[in-house]
Amino acid sequence: DVKVTQSSRYLVKRTGEKVFLECVQDMDHENMFWYRQDPGLGLRLIYFSYDVKMKEKGDIPEGYSVSREKKERFSLILESASTNQTSMYLCASSNDRDTFYEQYFGPGTRLTVT
């Protein structure tokens, strides 16, 4: 059973703080993704990675960076958190060998920036 875990379910940070969101998957998946979910806007892709040390910008990368030093771990970094980054953050992974590219999601981290 694929498991995607995220380091925190809830996080409260102050404006200007550096924030790390961690995601770990246990199924040796090549691809990993970070989304943010906001009411009425659905899921928006921030960054994705198709291999260790590789990263690609998604639709809304501004204000974020990522790190993938190991295959199972994908980190999202907010260099200087702002209130408009208050959101639910979802991590996902998928497998290149999967013919229909199912994405497996973590439970999400609800980040509040005050």
Partner 1 sequence: GEDVEQSLFLSVREGDSSVINCTYTDSSSTYLYWYKQEPGAGLQLLTYIFSNMDMKQDQRLTVLLNKKDKHLSLRIADTQTGDSAIYFCAGLGPGGSYIPTFGRGTSLIVHP
CB of 16 to partner 1, least distance (A): 29
Tell me phi and psi for residue 10, to 5 degrees.
-135, 140
Cross-strand partners of 32 = 49, 93
Question: Tokens representing 14?
Answer: 């102050």
Host H or E run for residue 96: none
Q: Which is nearer to partner 1, 56 or 79 (CB)?
A: 56
Q: Tell me how far, at minimum, the Cβ of 3 lies from partner 1, in Å.
A: 11
Minimal distance, residue 107 CB to partner 1, in Å: 5
Of the pair 69, 100, the CB lying nearest partner 1 is at 100
> How do beta strands 109-113 and 104-105 pair?
unpaired
Q: And the tokens for 38?
A: 């906001």
Give the interface with partner 1 as residue ranges (CB under 8 A).
4, 31, 33, 40-43, 45, 48, 50, 90, 92, 94, 96, 100-103, 105-108
Residue whose CB is less far from partner 1, 16 or 41: 41
Question: Smallest gap, in angstroms, from Cβ of residue 15 to partner 1?
Answer: 26
